[in-house]
Amino acid sequence: MLTNNDIMKKLRVAHKLRDEDILKVLELVDFEMTKPELNAIFQKEDHKNYQECGDQLLRNFLNGLIIHLRGPMPKKTENPAPKKNFTKPHPRRK
């Protein structure tokens, strides 16, 4: 079974991200983390500085990665125009 740490490692390799890049991705979603905290996520489980990656960190990283790759979502208009129904009624058969 993959852990959150494994998923973070695989995403880092797949997208060729350095520690600084990951920290910038996390900043996009206003999630602050230090470099030593991040390095603890990528340690082996038996290492003394190993830290388990929580769901909140992974969720924020994925949301930041989406923004990093696609760009921010466009702003929705406050008062959208009402949608008009352009379908014609079905004619009755005789």
Residue with tokens 């490692």: 9
Residue identified by tokens 């008062």 is 79
Q: Quick one: what percent of the chain has pLDDT higher than 70?
A: 84
For 13, counting Cβ atoms within 10 Å of its Cβ (0-12 exposed, 13-18 middle, 19+ buried), the class is exposed
What's the rounded mean pLDDT across residues 74-93? 68
User: Which residues constitute the domain of residue 15?
Assistant: 4-70
pLDDT computed for residue 80 by the predictor: 61
Per-residue pLDDT reduced to its tens digit, 7-48: 999 999 999 999 999 999 999 999 999 999 999 999 999 999
Q: What is the mean pLDDT of the chain?
A: 89
Task: Please tell me the pTM assigned to this model.
Answer: 0.74
- Domain assignment present for residue 37? The answer is yes
pLDDT band for 69, please (50, 70, 90 cuts).
very high
Q: Answer yes or no: is 14 within a domain.
A: yes
DSSP per position, 20-84: HHHHHHHHTTT----HHHHHHHTS-TTSTT--PPPHHHHHHHHHHHHHHHH-PPPPPPSSPPPPP
Structural domains of the chain, count? 1
For residue 78, being part of any structural domain is answered with: no
Asked whether residue 86 is domain-assigned, the answer is no
